[in-house]
Amino acid sequence: MDREHEHDPEAQAAWALAATSAAAGRALTTLNGCAACAAEAAMLRGAVDWLGTAQPVRPPARLRDAVLAAARAARVGGRKGSAGSPQALAYATQVAALDALLGGLSPRDWRAAVPRHGNVRALIAHLSANDQMVAADLGLVRPADDNRPDRPDRPDRHDRHDQHVRRVWRERAAMVLERVPADPADRLDRPVRLAGRHQAVRPLRDGLVQRAFETWIHADDVRAVLDLPSRPPPAEHVRLIAELGVRLLPTALAAAAAGGADRPVRLILHGAGGGTWELPPGRDPAVPPEVTITCDVVEFCRLLAGRRAPEEFVAIADGDPDSTLTVLRAIASLGCGD
């Protein structure tokens, strides 16, 4: 022990509270060369190391999904850190989920019949082509494209081609996600085309939500083929999708009828991620709507995607039946088109 050394256990307590684990480890071996001080410091540090366990709080359940999705997205895109924005995280979550799903498909699964598209491979090629629209609008270089679903190839090369389609789709998605930096405010304003019959051009933040939406819907298409249950996105992502649908609805209502964009509509969407919206935007809620539609928010999203028939849609409607059907048809026109 150093004779000149003055023991100051209270200062050691301050050090134990402030030091990082690595610094603590280094300092313990050289703490004034004093074994007594090192032992005291180690003891206090050990106590500090347990302080964090004194008040555990269970985090919101959705945070687990968000953390794991961000981790998977980081792997898919080779990205570091969080997905950067709620919209990007929503997209990354669906990309990761679909990629995991595709990873488990057999060659026969890739050939399985899918309504509207022919088979799973053609479906993913369609999704990839729509992703490419956003990538192109962001000025991203098109990755090697060999997505033609009807490409004649030998049966023994099916598997290789399936994986190629999957890889091209995933690389495009990753390219788009990589363009959303940690501080994305300006980039999220960049205009991109949305897939669908209305040929809307919207800020990238909406483009990302639509890519998340379409990726989810087509993942559910694959699940249906495999007889797997549907997997709706987390509630906060459902909310983003519903909000986008509501923002786009006036355009669809205008296309449906002259003056349709001004039709007063109230949407009451139940379930996690739901809410109540008044259309047109800014309308005084005190003004009675012409049509009120009340339904489950996930079902609303499926109607948006064209996965529910407007004529058979399960909802509580208040208003003229023809007007209600016009609104439901307008909603159903807002999907990616396939």
What residue ranges bind another protein (CB under 8 A)?
A: 9-10, 12-14, 16-18, 20-21, 25, 42-60, 63-64, 66-68, 70-72, 74-75, 80-82
CB of 69 to another protein, least distance (A): 10
* Shortest distance, position 66 Cβ to another protein, whole Å: 6
Which is it for the CA torsion 302, 240, 333, 123, positive or negative?
A: negative
Q: How far apart are CA 184 and CA 84, in angstroms?
A: 7
Please list, residue by residue across 277-314, b when 16 or more beta carbons sit within 10 angstroms of its beta carbon and e when fewer do: bbbeeeeeeeeebbbbbbbebbbbbbbbbbbbebeebe
Closest CA to 142 of 150, 132, 156, 134: 132
Q: From the CB of 40, what's the least distance to another protein, in Å? A: 8
Least distance CB 336 / another protein (angstroms): 29
> 58 or 154: whose CB is closer to another protein?
58
Nearer CB in complex with another protein: 91/110 = 91
How far apart are CB 23 and another protein at their closest, in Å? 10
User: Helix crossing, 235-256 with 297-304: angle to 10°?
Assistant: 50
Q: DSSP class of residue 163?
A: H
Pick 69 or 291: Cβ nearer another protein: 69
Residue from 207, 216, 214, 200 nearest 184 by CA? 207
Minimum CB distance to another protein smaller for 25 or for 115: 25
Long-range contacts of 143-152 (CB under 8 A, 24+ apart): 143/168, 143/171, 143/172, 143/175, 144/168, 149/117, 149/118, 149/119, 149/121, 149/122, 149/125, 150/122
57 versus 144: smaller Cβ distance to another protein:
57
- Of 22 and 141, which has the nearer Cβ to another protein? 22
CB 7 to another protein: min, Å: 12
CB of residue 35 to another protein, shortest distance in Å: 16
User: At closest approach, how far in Å is the CB of 143 from another protein?
Assistant: 23
Backbone dihedral region of 309: left (phi > 0), alpha (psi from -120 to 50 degrees) or beta? beta
Residue-by-residue DSSP string for 57-97: -PPPHHHHHHHHHHHHHHHHHT--SS-SSHHHHHHHHHHHH
Q: Which residues does residue 268 pair with via DSSP β-bridges, in sequence order?
A: 276, 294
Output 3 or 50, the one with its CB closest to another protein.
Answer: 50
Smaller CB separation from another protein, 30 or 55: 55
- Going 247 to 181 to 163 to 137, the CA torsion angle's sign is positive
| Rounded-to-integer distance, Cα 175 and Cα 195, Å | 18
User: Residue 270 CB, nearest distance to another protein (Å)?
Assistant: 24
Q: Which of 141, 145, 142 is nearest to 161 (CA)?
A: 145
Q: Which two tokens stand for residue 266?
A: 């109230």
Q: Among residues 14 and 36, whose Cβ is nearest to another protein? A: 14
